[in-house]
Amino acid sequence: MLYAKIEGNGKPLLIIHGFLGMSDNWKTLGTHYAATGFEVHMLDLRNHGRSFQSDVFTYEAMAEDVLQYIEKNKLQQASIIGHSMGGKVAMLFAVRYSERVEKLIIADIGPRYYKPHHAEILKGLAAIDFTTVESRQDVEEILKPYIPDLGTRQFLMKSLYWVTPGQLGWRFNVPVFIANQDVIGQALPEGSQYLQPVMFIKGDRSDYIREQDYDSIRHFFPDAVFAVVPNAGHWLHAENPEAFFSETLRFLQTQN
């Protein structure tokens, strides 16, 4: 069973984080959605955050986890926001269980194949020997050569926690991620379709969704609409949360 942070009352809204993320990344936005009349479920996917760890790491398994979560919580239908890898999970869930989806929002990812591009990050994460590091600063110093960008390091270190009073560890499952690097970029299975309205929203500085992708997106999602968040890259919900929130809320509140 997936771990989730739940806020608010009203129509169910599931938020699914991206690769190496967790529900905490969406805490502020989740509170905003809750204030507008949603019961917001911010999920931790398997091998992330406080959810269970497993050697099985596939989109099929993650979509089934979402189904089990919905059924366990007796949610007949839910709207879903999925970012990056979480968007891939949301897309697969929607094409398989469309009757369980009220509104679908996919943040800065498309259904196409993406080449693996997390190798250096994973090398950095794997370079941490938790039997020798004594502080978060020690961990950051080891990560720096692999991950020069401060923002990326800070994001990853949100998943660093004290396993015991003297022992740090990662909340995510680094060995499984390294063994399954090719999974993250997999395309949505050919022949899949979701016929209800769906919003694809991207950062204006991101190339994860390009104009030439629009036709292939409509192949899987014929009723897709597109939105762009200004002054934002791939982490559009963190880089310009106000614009992301207003665009997505408008779509969530639109009657089909």
Q: Which residues are catalytic?
A: 84, 234
* Nearest to 43, CA basis, from 51, 31, 34: 51
Within 10 A of 189 (CB to CB), how many other CB atoms are there? 13
Sign of the dihedral defined by the CA atoms of residues 104, 105, 111, 114, in that order? negative
Strands 160-164 and 167-170: antiparallel
3-class SS string, 117-175:
CCHHHHHHHHCCCCCCCCCHHHHHHHHCCCCCCHHHHHHHHCCEEEEECCEEEECCCHH
* Nearest to 40, CA basis, from 10, 64, 68: 10
Q: What is the rounded distance in angstroms from the CA atom of residue 241 to the CA atom of residue 203?
A: 11
Q: What is the rounded distance in angstroms from the CA atom of residue 3 to the CA atom of residue 148?
A: 31
Q: What is the rounded distance in angstroms from the CA atom of residue 87 to the CA atom of residue 15?
A: 9
* Nearest to 5, CA basis, from 19, 20, 26: 26
- Helices 85-96/59-72 angle, 10° precision: 70
